[in-house]
Amino acid sequence: MPRRVAPTLRVHIVHRPPDDALRILEAHLVNGIEITIGPDPAPADVLVDGRPSRAQIEACPDLRALIVPYAGIPAETRGLLLTDFPDLAVHNLHHNAAAAAELAVALLLAAAKTLLPADRALRTGDWRTRYDGLPTILLEGKHVVILGLGAIGARVAETCQAFRMDVSAVRRHVDRPTPPGVEVHSPETLRKLLPQADVLILCLPLTPKTDGLIGARELALLRPSAVLVNIARGAIVDEEALYRALADRRLAAAGIDVWYRYPKTPEERANTPPSRFPFHELDHVVLSPHRGGAFRTEELEAQRMHDLAVSLNAAARGAPIPHPVDLAEGY
């Protein structure tokens, strides 16, 4: 009987991917990677889950890394790791960066061009939005400030440059590589940049430092002609301050994909307002139900598995795993 060769890397995935996606993962893995799946982890070098319990982590005494299979890290996971497993390496996947960036641009265009009010009117045969001068905003030559220049923000920056916009970005690590032509600034300069912004796009993670980053004071620094787009997290922008600025027309428009209230059960999905304030009454606001990272399920899971394979192959080869998370910073 042939002797069983120990795997190069043992990987446990807590939540089983769809069968088609799992086949894609297996097809892209290098030799020597052993995959186990299920809520009760087998001993593993790498654990794949966004919200592992203490027991699941402790079931893997040789654990080298946790891979969160999406961008960001849940607050409860970060708290657990900081308290009990501060030396465990944590990594993300950025498989949905292109989809999120595309939605950011879609929200910008829909808000700047007042597409939704014009669409609603024309569905009733009403052409007056053409003749009454429903305002639209020309983006060419305007200045966009992007908060966060990671996988999503960099794509948004490149697209805005294609519109011939001037692009500035705020990021914590100003010395990291950036798209050509993008002016990069440190977070300390944010309030100096805001009065220059015709468009403000939020692409940064929610962390203790970014929670409430954009409040009434920051919104007041924006021009009344400015457009705000948020595809990051709702809590980064103060809920009431944002509503008041929009309701009072101290901002020209907004496109919002991330919110302050979410349905907690399947039954609530058909009837849960996204905020305690009536954003839905504001015609110059485009509302999207947190669809930034979403695209066809088959494509989404295929891309997730492809990116997971890249990370696992790196670990198996002893190379750095992509997308490390700084637990102290929260991303």
pLDDT digits (tens, 9 = 90+) for 2-23: 444 467 899 999 999 999 999 9
Mean of the pLDDT values across residues 69-85? 92
Residue 327 belongs to some domain of the structure = no
Q: Do residues 198 and 62 both lie within one domain?
A: no
Categorize the per-residue pLDDT at 297 as very low, low, confident or very high, splitting at 50, 70 and 90.
low
Q: Do residues 128 and 215 both lie within one domain?
A: yes
What Rg value do the Cα atoms of the chain yield, rounded? Answer: 22
Q: Do residues 231 and 303 both lie within one domain?
A: no
What is the overall mean pLDDT for the chain?
Answer: 94
Residue 70 belongs to some domain of the structure = yes
Task: Give 65-119 as a DSSP string.
Answer: EEE-SSSS--HHHHHHHHHH-TTSEEE---TTHHHHHHHHHHHHHHHHTTHHHHH
Res. 250: pLDDT tops 60: yes
Res. 248: pLDDT tops 70: yes
pLDDT of 65 reads: 97
Q: Do residues 77 and 160 both lie within one domain?
A: no
Residue 322 belongs to some domain of the structure = no
pLDDT of 298 reads: 75
pLDDT of 177 reads: 86
Residue 328 belongs to some domain of the structure = no
Mean of the pLDDT values across residues 262-284? 96
Q: Do residues 84 and 101 both lie within one domain?
A: no
Categorize the per-residue pLDDT at 108 as very low, low, confident or very high, splitting at 50, 70 and 90.
very high
Q: Do residues 173 and 247 both lie within one domain?
A: yes
Q: Do residues 101 and 118 both lie within one domain?
A: yes
Residue 330 belongs to some domain of the structure = no
Do the Cβ atoms of 284 and 134 come closer than 8 Å?
Answer: no
Distance CA 232, CA 276 (A): 19
Residue 222 belongs to some domain of the structure = yes
pLDDT of 221 reads: 98
The answer for residues whose C-beta is within 8 angstroms of residue 220's C-beta and 6 or more apart is 245, 250
pLDDT of 2 reads: 46
Q: Do residues 236 and 151 both lie within one domain?
A: yes
Amino acid at 135: P
Q: Given the structure tokens 């295929």, which residue do they identify?
A: 302
Domain residues for 123? Answer: 97-287
Q: Do residues 251 and 106 both lie within one domain?
A: yes
Q: Do residues 161 and 241 both lie within one domain?
A: yes
What CATH number corresponds to the domain at position 15?
3.40.50.720
* Angle of helix 115-122 versus helix 97-112 axis, rounded to 10: 70
Q: Read off the pTM.
A: 0.90
Q: Do residues 219 and 86 both lie within one domain?
A: no
Number of domains, the chain: 2
% of the chain residues with pLDDT over 70: 97
- For 47-59, how does the pLDDT look when each residue is reduced to its tens digit (9 = 90+)? 999 999 999 999 9
Q: Do residues 197 and 146 both lie within one domain?
A: yes
